[in-house]
């Protein structure tokens, strides 16, 4: 996530880099949301493939709860992560708003890609409408 922001020409200053390197709350929350949303959607497929345990399986084992309860609790963690992101965007910070917005947008893309129990990364058909709206349909302009 940090690399995404640093390589952008307009956000390559020393101050911004140091801010990102400090792993601020908005970055922690963004990384957590990206990971957990993907884990909720893909944990069953990953287990069938023999991948390492996802956040859902680890939560189930650590707290001795059902899959449903684990997913509910992880969804609460995601909601709290969004609260942290919103809080950091509302408070004055050393980081420019354009940098905060890039972080928010990256997390939004993850929500679109993996939200609503869709794994659009491996089943891209579910993204077809979004891509069409973004690149094909005309955006109405206000007069």
Residue of 79 and 42 predicted with greater confidence: 79
pLDDT number for residue 7: 46
Average pLDDT, integer, range 17-35: 91
Q: How confident is the model at residue 84 (pLDDT cuts 50, 70, 90)?
A: very high
pLDDT number for residue 77: 96
Mean pLDDT of the chain: 81
All domains of the chain in start order, with CATH: 2-135 (1.10.600.10)
pTM above 0.85, yes or no: no
- CA–CA dist 24, 17 (Å, integer): 12
- Which range has the top average pLDDT, 5-19, 39-53, 93-107? 93-107
Instruction: Return the beta strands (E) in the chain as ranges.
Output: none
Average pLDDT, integer, range 117-128: 64
Residue of 28 and 39 predicted with greater confidence: 28
In sequence order, which residues have a C-beta less than 8 Å from that of residue 85 and are 6 or more positions away?
26, 29, 30, 33, 103, 104, 107
Q: How far is CA 12 from the centre of its chain?
A: 22
């Amino acid at each position: 996530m940090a690399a995404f922001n640093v390589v952008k020409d307009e956000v390559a200053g020393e101050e911004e880099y140091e801010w990102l390197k400090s792993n601020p709350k908005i970055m922690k929350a963004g990384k957590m949301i990206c990971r957990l949303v993907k884990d909720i959607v893909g944990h069953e497929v990953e287990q069938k493939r023999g991948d390492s345990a996802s956040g859902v399986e680890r939560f189930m084992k650590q707290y001795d709860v059902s899959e449903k309860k684990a997913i509910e609790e992880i969804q609460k963690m995601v909601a709290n992560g969004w609260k942290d992101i919103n809080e950091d965007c509302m408070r004055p910070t050393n980081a420019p708003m354009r940098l905060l917005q890039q972080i928010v947008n990256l997390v939004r893309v993850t929500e679109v890609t993996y939200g609503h129990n869709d794994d659009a990364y491996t089943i891209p058909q579910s993204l077809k409408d979004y891509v069409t709206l973004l690149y094909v349909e005309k955006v109405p302009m206000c007069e």
